[in-house]
Structure formats: C-alpha cells, structure tokens
Structure 1
Amino acid sequence: MVRIKDIAKTCGVSTATVSYVLHGKYEKVSKEVRERIEAEIAESGYITNQSAINLVSRCSGLIGVAVMDSSDKKDIMGDPYFSILFSYLEKEFRKRDKYILIILDQSPERVVKDALRWNLDGLILSNYTREAMIAISQEFVKPIVTIDAAFVYEYDKLVQVFIDDYDGGYKIGSYLASIGHTNVAMLDDNDEEDTRHRWRGFRQSFIDNGIEIDESSHFIIDMKTEDLQEGLDRIYPALIEKSAVFCISDFYALRVIKYLNEHGKTVPEDISVAGYDDILFSKLSTPELTTIRQNVRQKAESAVDSMMKMIKNKPVEHNIKLPVELVIRESCRQL
C-alpha cells in the first residue's frame, strides 16, 4: 500500500508538503511542486477513494438529481415513481464511482447555486418546465440530462430522456374503445401545453375509432392549486357519468378507485379506471390496475450512460425517446 511518506520520498519533499496538497492548502506549496505531487498521487494509486480522485481530476464525483414540484401538497420522496427512479439512478452512478445529491423543489437559481457549491460534475433534471430548464442550462456549464421533459430543446451539452407519452395515451384509448367504451374522460394533473401529449394521444385514438371526444372530457386536478380530495369532490358529478376514466398516473388512478369505493361505486362494475406508470402498487390494488408501463430502469440507465459520455466528452444522442407498453389487468371491463 502506498503511503504519504512514499509519495514524499518519490517527489523529494516532506510529508507535510504532501499533506498540504492532499488537504487543499495550496498557498503553502508552489505550483510546480503541487503538480508533481498530484501526478504521483494519480500514478501511484494512493488513497483510491473519492477524495483522491477529486484531487487529481478536479471532479467532485457528485451528480445532482433535481426534481421540481412547486406544490406543497405533494411529497416527492413519498411518490413511488420517484423513489424507484432515485434508486436506479443511485445504483447506476455508483457502478461508475459517482454518487447522487438529491435537490428537491428548488428554483433554477437555487439549483445552480447548489450545483456550484458542491462542484457537481453534472445535473439530472426531472419534472422541470422548459423555462426553468433553459435557465439552469444557461448558468450551469457542465453536462445536463433531463428526464421526463415534455418538450424537445436542442442544446449540445444537454440530453433529454423521455418516454413516448403520446403513444401511451393512444394505446390506453385504443384499448378502452376496443372493449366498448365511448363515454370516457382523462384525469390530468395540469393543463400546460408542453405536458398534453398523453391527452392528445388518448383523444386521437377515439377520433380514429370514429368516437367524438372533446376538451370537456379532459378533467384537471392541479395539485399546485388544489388538493386532490377537493378536486375529486369537484369533478365527481361529471366523473360518474363516464363509463371509464384514464388517469395521468397510477397514483391518481389508485386514489380515484379509493374515492369511488368510499362513495359506494365499484371498479370496474360501475366505472373502469386505468392508470399510467405501472408502479408496484398497481398490482397490489383491488382490482389490479390496467395501466401503461414505462421502463424506469431503462430510463435511468439511458440518463446515466448519457451523463458519463458527456463527462468524458464523447458523442451522445441528444433526444432519447423510450417505448411504453399496455398492461391489461382487472380495473377495466368489457361493455
């Protein structure tokens, strides 16, 4: 095992001088000596831990994972989707000797401030609006990967990893139409233009099947402005007029099923319910949830691979669209 005194002997300096370099006290060491010591540290493999790697490479070994949700009514860490995503990201980065720093619900200015403070090697941005993402990318000069961005933004230092949300909406709509549902709705968590892909696909599937569906069937419960329980109370009279409802996420779908049960309605006998994501709980609910499956592991792997390539200045694909899959279970019935 290489020791400090071995580094000192090879470089012809004292152990104190080597210690100064290791602890960043550069004012006590000349530039020439410091560079000689750093080179020997790198070549000898002394202290093969993150601090030594950081010393030589000028990297922190940290990747920021920033998730934006301006609602104080939603717990990101309690959301099954994000807990799984964080788990896969941490596992994939750890394989590459990188570690994640989670940054929740911060303004673009605060994200950049945290990134600079911790000398992050890159940023993963999830759930950010176009404006916020652009603001961060203009201030943070290192690589950025976005996950679940609902828009395409061409920028040479940025990669976007997202799923085919239009196709997901189209698939669930086509399935509901195929089992006889014509009076349907979609329950969404916002009505921002950049995030309407699932609704567009859902609506188009019915149009292609000769079934009229308009904006009145697009129910919105935006948790930035409204509690989910309050929103369900508001839309309930219109909801029970439908034979099926497609929810923007499994979280919303499972909450709808519980709400309907509390109001004496049975799924799928009284109304069919479908979700999106295929989280673990979708198979544990009663009835088991029909949903659109996205491969969160593949999404994380694509994000990590892209980040590592950019850090190493290798070419990358800047827009990575991943497929989705229809999963048919028990929560939707044939009419």
Structure 2
Amino acid sequence: MRITKNKEENVMVRIKDIAKTCGVSTATVSYVIHGKHEKVSKEVRERIEAEIAETGYITNQSAINLVSRCSGLIGVAVMNTSEKKDIMGDPYFSILFSYLEKEFRKRDKYILIILDQSPEKVVKDALRWNLDGLILSNYTKENMIAISREFVKPIVTIDAAFIHEYDKMVQVFIDDYLGGYKIGQYFVSINHRNVAMLDDNDEEETRHRWRGFRQAFLDNGINIDEDSHFIINIKTEELQEGLDRFYPKLMEKTAVFCNSDFYALRLIKYLNEHGKKVPDDISVAGYDDIFFSKISSPELTTIRQDVQMKAEMAVDSMMRMIKNKPVEHNIKLPVELIVRQSCKSL
C-alpha cells in the first residue's frame, strides 16, 4: 500500500504496475525483486529499483512462500542444559541471536527461536512451521543426530564438532582446544604453575578447553592433574554453592582459567565479596570476550571468539544448502588471546 504523490489515496502497487511504468516485462521486475541481477542490465535494474523505492512496493511474502513451498523461516533451537540457567539472559546467546537475525534478514529469511525442547519437539515445531532449515546449538551429539534423522532439510550446528556423515549438515565451531592451550601458555609465560580450571560440566565432548589448557603445561614440563579441574555442574547446583565448595582449593591456586567470561566475572565478584582482590591475590582469565569483559574491574583477560563471524558462516552455509550449492561441512574458526588486567606476573 502507498500514498500517491498527487492525492492521499491508498493504492495497491503490483508488479505489473512497476513493469508498465518502466517499460519492461513483469518477469524482469521479478528478477530484480528476487536478486537475480545477472538477468537484467545495470541501467534497467537501477530504473526498476528507483520505481520500487518511489512507489513503496512491498513483496507479498505469503504468495511467494506458497509458490516456492518455502516458509522463509529458519529455526534456531537451543537446549538449556539446566533449569538454573537462563539462555536468553546469557550474554553469549543474546549476541549470537542478534547476529543470526541480522544476517538472515539480509537474505529475506527470519528466525524462529526454539528453546529447551527435546529433539522430538524440535522436529515437530520444524514441521509445523514448515521451516526452511534449522540452526542447532547446545544440544548433545546424540540429540543433534536424532534431529538430523527426522528433519530432512538443511541443518547447521553451532559449537559442536563430531563426525557425522550427512550432506545436509554443516558444523560451525571454534578451536576450543587451541583456546585452552593459549591460556595455558600465557599462564606459564607469567610464571604461574599452581593453577586450576573452573568448568560447568565434565562431559567428554566439551572437554576440549581443559585438554588444551592442561597440554600447554605438560609441554612445559608441568603436570596438572584432574583434581585441578573444578566442576560446578549447573544441572545440580547453583554457581554460588559451587564456589563456596571450591573456595578453599581456589585460594591455594595462583591463577584460575574459567570456561566462560560469565563464570570469570562471577568468580571475580565472589572473590571481592570475600576480601580477595584480582589480580593481586589471584589471577583470573575467561573465555568468549563478551562486552562486559572490557568494562569489568579489572578488565578481563580472555580468549576472543568472533561470534559475528560464526553467525555469518552459519547463515552462509544454510543459504548455500537451501540453494543446493556445495558447502564445507566442518568449519573451524580461530580464537585469539586478549590480555588485560585480571592476570599478573609472579
């Protein structure tokens, strides 16, 4: 609908109206609207785009979806591993959702967020909404494979790396082993030997950061045993309770690597409440480089992962699969050590 320039009157603008004004066929206008620019000359395309902007033409997405048998919707399914954790309140996921929405919108796709659903319910929602594809995050390997067996359209997994032969699945993940290794090497370089890692689970498929962290010390002739891997299982206890439980052991250490910036910032707050200063009494490092890491006191040393790049790769892979174009099925993204003020040299 638009307001004409000559009189205030609601008018439904159609493709054939634009075609008539521009002196082209409706097919040519359709090519421009759907981004098939290679089929139209630059001069004609610019003329059509100007007329579209002038008239305020809006595509009838429902009609397009009906003809193409596509919904224009991409499901983003995230499993919350604990009732004690708020996924929407997690800074990492809020940033990830924002980038995914932005990148899909550029491609005339929109996201439907599906939280805390079993594989069966995810598939049910995907079929009910006729989703064009699924983004899966925070699901176990078994659950992701179960969904891929029932949902035959493209799937992109985020933050999961496992061998699964399925031509409609792409895995986008960061090099967690290298991230843990970089923190370990940094601790060694500033003379920390008595260290620990604070983690939120001990599941085999998520131990990459711990393995890398430990290996960095082993490569320098320093042994760190499993007793230095402090697990606060978010499925069974509150973070505060876990910190209370580990506090005596924490104070025996000179530096602690946390599995996320969220855990690191909570630990710094907890230590402050107990009269301990970071980094004077103990050094703390995190993982993710969320926005709050830069404005905390002290500013947090951490591993930076590029969440925007992760979202862009996920969206690009999804769109390529939808268009039946070849894709790379395992995409490992780099990480970077960011040194700030939360660690000190001994």
Q: TM-score, normalised by structure 2?
A: 0.84
Superposition pairs of residues 214-229 of structure 1, within 5 angstroms: 214-229=225-240
Gaps of 5+ in 2: 1-12, 18-26, 34-56
**Residue 47 of structure 2 aligns with which residue?**
none
Q: TM-score, normalised by structure 1?
A: 0.87
For residue 175 of structure 1, report the CA deviation from its aligned partner: 0.2
SS in 2 for 1:241: coil
**Residue 67 of structure 2 aligns with which residue?**
56
Among 288, 304, 307, the alignment partner of 2:299 is 288
Among 271, 278, 290, the alignment partner of 2:282 is 271
User: RMSD across aligned C-alpha pairs, in angstroms?
Assistant: 2.0
Q: 1:278 is aligned with what amino acid?
A: D
**Residue 89 of structure 2 aligns with which residue?**
78
Among 180, 188, 203, the alignment partner of 2:199 is 188
Deviates most, 304-313 or 222-231? 222-231
**Residue 4 of structure 2 aligns with which residue?**
none
C-alpha distance in 1 between matches for 2:320 and 2:182? 33
Gaps of 5+ in 1: 6-38
Superposition pairs of residues 208-219 of structure 1, within 5 angstroms: 208-219=219-230
2:326 aligned with 1:330: no
Change (3 A) 1:234 1:73: same
**Residue 162 of structure 2 aligns with which residue?**
151
SS in 2 for 1:200: helix
SS in 2 for 1:276: coil
SS in 1 for 2:59: coil
Residues 114-157 of structure 1 show CA distances to partners (whole Å, capped at 9, x for unaligned) of 10110000000011100100110000010000000143333211
C-alpha distance in 2 between matches for 1:83 and 1:222? 22
C-alpha distance in 2 between matches for 1:213 and 1:285? 29
Contact 1:163 1:294 in 2 (8 A): yes
Superposition pairs of residues 1-335 of structure 1, within 5 angstroms: 1-2=13-14, 48-335=59-346
For residue 43 of structure 1, report the CA deviation from its aligned partner: 8.2
C-alpha distance in 1 between matches for 2:32 and 2:63? 11
C-alpha distance in 2 between matches for 1:311 and 1:302? 14
Change (3 A) 1:54 1:237: same
Contact 1:60 1:119 in 2 (8 A): yes
Residues 199-238 of structure 1 show CA distances to partners (whole Å, capped at 9, x for unaligned) of 0000000000111101000000111111111111111111
For residue 70 of structure 1, report the CA deviation from its aligned partner: 2.7
C-alpha distance in 2 between matches for 1:122 and 1:49? 21
Contact 2:161 2:171 in 1 (8 A): no
C-alpha distance in 2 between matches for 1:42 and 1:291? 49
C-alpha distance in 2 between matches for 1:217 and 1:70? 24
C-alpha distance in 2 between matches for 1:284 and 1:112? 40
Identity %: 82
SS in 2 for 1:210: coil
